[in-house]
Structure 1
């Protein structure tokens, strides 16, 4: 082997090593969200319902609205895929207390794509229109669930409704296109996150392709669709991620997801904050730690009081960001562990103390 060739190979190996170290260093970095989180209390708690998912938005009068997935059973699985409904709670301030207002979306119980368990609520506002996205399924038994999960949309001029499902029956996305990377995904499509961006409408979703569980993107020219899935997933994640929320901040698109097994952040049950300029590519090399586990923020955490309802860690699920004055201001999320000793999951609210 020539000396020049050997030097070239060594240079490549050194570069790859440095790149790996850079990625490792970046994933040790706490994001601007994680650095400034302050646990403020319980956002939603109901003795008659298990709470899962708290999607926030503010109206013109300054009231904060939460769209919450809930069900009467005390268990999480299979209840979430069988009995979930999307309930609407309202408070005068982002920190609550939140009071029940109405049921926004319930399962039809009929032969529709959302016969069972409207879940994964996502709420955004486009102009004077409130946009509510959710998932549903045709049969909660496994199988066929979760491969039969689809995403739907309902719109209203008021957060109090009434909600009108778009198109024929509200469904705007599934995994049934044979030309797309997630065709017949064993997970269907789930965890919608929505953004109006560059004159188009971006719908992010969790699905399974050849590389495993990743986030994908579908884009539409009109709010009500049709939404077209891009050719490849948008995240270069390692291991399991889900529960995405997306927002614009300082000329960048941020996608916040869970990191269930710690493969991206090193924190089992932490969050990954992805950053992108175009909203179409989120690289692990540019990711930071989105948030830590719940005990990091709840200072009175006591293992003796814990009730483990669902999951293996005291982590936040379904993180959702409330934007105020174009800045991320609050983070909402439930936990499968009740840190107060109750037998129901509750929704937490944490303030993002940005200067």
Structure 2
């Protein structure tokens, strides 16, 4: 009997230890190699998501849109999409491949781009996140169309800002799926006609964006996304749950309504070892309540996937890169994506970055590194 009690106590201690919120990116994050930044001389490069394919290679799905002024004649106010602002109309989702997780990555194909139709996803394709659930690959993304009736009577907004929102506030979340990574590259994926998530005008309004999906502790699929809530200045994360990765998602909670905890760009996963959910996010507040810098990467957590809080060790990275030659200060470090290895643990962190403000700097990323994807290798054994 005494032996059974000791075994029970040991099991309880083991469970409590394994359920601890002890993930600390500051202890496992490494230096970055500037020679392996992923960028393109002709495109802004943003929003990366990486998965290991059946062939053992690593596939990066990312957003890109061309430099320069917009010359299309479909909109007399197309100038509002010049340069970096072009993401709201001209972004496309491309794929690059590498033999190693930290690269170098090489472009292989454009997966999703505007076809000029009148569907809900007429224009931009952005915020990709690639996942594999069971034997199927799912590529989540956002897209938009154009609604000239939005804000048309709002006299407080400038003409340009109103026009921008008539595109921006039609953003919805979609998903395409395929049996093999090569099917995405060859255009053999399944693309539903309707969006996966859109504002319901009851809880969520104007936009649904920043999707991240993971399979939870109960076998169901949890989506965190961003939308607007009435009478709240900042946008709010929302949690939704579905029985299938591409099924109907039902909203179950909102996350961090308080402006002091405002965040965006989540990447969520369920940590089986620690028995909790984590999400890497970009901190979107100057309050320093979560981490000490606006635009820094932060870690939030939940035991049930519904109720969230800042993690015990909330700082992932300040807006900087540590290299063998010193520290590079950044204008932006966002769109974090945490690659989870076969053991279910973080093995790499990808993020979009710029050293100078991309909307004000040179057009050529190799000159000023005005937009690129960086990979931080992670090592849980690192002390």
TM range (shorter): 0.7 to 0.9
How far the C-alpha of 1:200 sits from its partner, in A, is 1.3
The equivalent of 1:70 in structure 2 is 64
Query: C-alpha offsets along residues 300-322 of structure 1, whole Å, 9 cap, x if unaligned?
Result: 4467xxxxxxxxx5331100011
* TM-score normalised by L of structure 2: 0.75
How far the C-alpha of 1:284 sits from its partner, in A, is 3.6
The equivalent of 1:103 in structure 2 is 110
Q: How many equivalent residue pairs?
A: 311
Q: How does 1:302-341 map to 2 (within 5 A)?
A: 314-325=331-342, 326-337=344-355, 341=367
Task: Please say which of residues 98-107 and 81-90 is displaced more in the overlay.
Answer: 98-107
Query: Is residue 2:24 matched to residue 1:32?
Result: yes
SS of the residue aligned with 2:89?
A: helix
Query: Is residue 2:280 matched to residue 1:256?
Result: yes
Q: Which runs of 5+ in 1 are unaligned?
A: 1-28, 304-312
Q: Which runs of 5+ in 2 are unaligned?
A: 1-20, 69-81, 148-162, 357-364
Q: How does 1:6-21 map to 2 (within 5 A)?
A: none
Pick the aligned partner of 2:227 from 183, 202, 207. Answer: 207
The equivalent of 2:195 in structure 1 is 171
Task: Please say which of residues 73-82 and 130-139 is displaced more in the overlay.
Answer: 73-82
How far the C-alpha of 1:108 sits from its partner, in A, is 2.7
Alpha-carbon distance in structure 2 between the residues aligned to 1:34 and 1:146: 35
The equivalent of 1:189 in structure 2 is 208
The equivalent of 1:225 in structure 2 is 247
Query: C-alpha offsets along residues 101-135 of structure 1, whole Å, 9 cap, x if unaligned?
Result: 11111123111111111000111101111110000
Alpha-carbon distance in structure 2 between the residues aligned to 1:291 and 1:344: 19
Alpha-carbon distance in structure 1 between the residues aligned to 2:169 and 2:257: 22
Pick the aligned partner of 2:319 from 273, 286, 293. Answer: 293
* TM-score normalised by L of structure 1: 0.80
CA RMSD of aligned residues (A): 2.5
Contact 2:122 2:143 survives alignment (8 Å): yes
Task: Please say which of residues 83-92 and 341-350 is displaced more in the overlay.
Answer: 341-350
Q: How does 1:268-283 map to 2 (within 5 A)?
A: 268-283=294-309
Alpha-carbon distance in structure 2 between the residues aligned to 1:193 and 1:31: 20
Query: C-alpha offsets along residues 219-269 of structure 1, whole Å, 9 cap, x if unaligned?
Result: 111222111122x30335525311100112222110111013343212222
* 1:276–1:78 distance in 2 versus 1, CA, 3 Å: same
Contact 1:31 1:289 survives alignment (8 Å): no
Alpha-carbon distance in structure 2 between the residues aligned to 1:209 and 1:97: 41
Contact 2:132 2:138 survives alignment (8 Å): yes
Contact 2:355 2:368 survives alignment (8 Å): no
SS of the residue aligned with 2:247?
A: coil
SS of the residue aligned with 2:33?
A: strand
Alpha-carbon distance in structure 1 between the residues aligned to 2:353 and 2:284: 12
